Amino acid sequence: MSEARTISIPKNMTNVEHSNTDEYLAFCDYLEEISGITLGTNKAYLVKNRLRPILTAHGVETLADAMKKIKRGVDPKLNLEIIDAMTTNETSWFRDQYPFEYLHDELLPKLKGKRMATPKIWSAACSHGHEAYSISMIIDEYTSRNPGAFPTDIQIIGTDISSRVIKSASAAEYDRLSIARGLSEDRKKKYFTETNNEHYSLISKIKNRVRFQYLNLLESYASMGKFDIIFCRNVLIYFSNENKSAIMEKFAKALNHDGVLILGASETVSNYSKAFEMVKCKRGVVYRHF
Ligand SMILES: C[S@@+](CC[C@H](N)C(=O)[O-])C[C@H]1O[C@@H](n2cnc3c(N)ncnc32)[C@H](O)[C@@H]1O
């Protein structure tokens, strides 16, 4: 654990409640160690409720037993299912708007000018794929106005720690609720086909530009290669300062010179890395690696 944690224990708490608190705190440490996600000390009830069906399905009664089982290496699926259940996968199309306007108006024209081999964009912590596919739609709109802008098509890679969302992102099929979040009627008509009354399937020219794979942001990025732009939004808020710094240093190494890091609206590089300079855009900021 990187930051000191305090928990207030009521004086009238029973021994059983004490041991439940210890078990919960041990689970918080375990979750942070494997995923970076820090949990509040007041989430015990919520966490236990969320995990109960998984523990039951794997024949374990308590969080402590689940952690023991994982450490013995006898049930690797249990670990994956716990991660899937503990991640917050909230996302939408063109989330916050300005990163996508900046991509269209500033970053793609700059990449066009460089005429490099294959420009690469990374959507890190991509959830169900809305961000990566929003980027692909922007590229489609830009290249239709600027034919031949890039000698080879831009590659987009989406990564996430949750295998459940990687599967869903790769399928590129969305229900009525999910399609409605931030997508204009025009783009819905242009880029999706309705498979039945409930689902919308992304057309292949937008889908094929994107590849999804598992990646834990706490691990090495060496196999990912170099990128021109990295989107990593609305995930670092869950991490300790120590993990934020380590991740931003690794992003700096994964970016080409002059590459750009785009964080969530409530996230910042300040205090965590000296490898970036802040660039103001119309309705937000991005970070240029120098
Ligand atoms: C709130 S969603 C944000 C999705 C998208 N970036 C956006 O802004 O709409 C956070 C995502 O981070 C992923 N995540 C959490 N910890 C991670 C880690 N250590 N490595 C990679 N992804 C992680 C979760 O699985 C989840 O899909």
Q: Tell me the per-residue pLDDT of 5-46, one tens digit each, with 9 for 90 and over.
A: 444 444 454 454 545 788 999 999 999 999 999 998 888 888
The domain that contains 146 carries what CATH number?
3.40.50.150
Question: At which of 31, 62, 86 does a domain end?
Answer: 86
Look at residue 282 and tell me whether its pLDDT is greater than 90: no
Cβ < 6 A, ligand 1 pocket: 35-37, 87-91, 95, 125-127, 131, 160-162, 165, 216-218, 233-235, 264
Does residue 145 form part of some domain?
yes
40 lies in the same domain as 133: no
pLDDT (tens digit per residue) in 39-59:
988 888 889 889 999 999 999
pLDDT at 76 > cutoff 50: yes
**pTM of the predicted model as reported, rounded to 2 decimal places:** 0.93
Q: At 114, is the pLDDT very low, low, confident or very high (cuts 50, 70, 90)?
A: confident
Domain shared by 142 and 56, yes or no: no
103/29 same-domain check: no
Place 116 in a pLDDT band, splitting at 50, 70 and 90. confident
* End position of a domain, from candidates 51, 86, 121: 86
Q: Which residue has the CA at smallest separation from atom 26 of ligand 1? A: 89
Question: Which residue, by CA, sits nearest to atom 12 of ligand 1?
Answer: 125
Both 132 and 42 in one domain: the answer is: no
* Helix ranges restricted to H, the chain: 15-35, 44-57, 63-72, 76-86, 98-102, 108-114, 130-145, 163-171, 176-179, 185-191, 204-207, 241-254
Q: For residue 23, give Cα distances in angstroms to 12, 26, 41, 56, 63.
A: 19, 5, 12, 17, 7
Single out the residue in 86, 112, 132 at which a domain terminates: 86
Co-location of 116 and 64 in the same domain: no
Indicate left, alpha or beta for 249 from its phi (over 0: left) and psi (-120 to 50: alpha).
alpha
| Residues 82 and 109 reside in one and the same domain | no
Confirm whether 2 is domain-assigned. Answer: no
CA-231 nearest atom, ligand 1:
6
Q: Is residue 6 part of a domain?
A: no
Beta-carbon contacts of 245 under 8 Å, excluding residues fewer than 6 positions away, are 272, 273
Do 72 and 135 lie in a common domain? no
Average pLDDT over residues 219-233: 97
Range of the domain at 258: 98-289
Per-residue model confidence (pLDDT) at position 19: 56
Counting the structural domains of the chain, the total is: 2
Cβ-in-10-Å burial (0-12, 13-18, 19+) of 256 comes to middle
Q: Is residue 8 situated within a structural domain?
A: no
Give pLDDT, residue 141: 98
Tell me, yes or no, whether 203 lies in a domain: yes
Q: What is the pLDDT of residues 186-222, one digit of tens each?
A: 999 999 999 977 899 999 999 999 999 999 999 999 9
Domain presence at residue 91: no
Do 229 and 111 fall within a single domain? yes
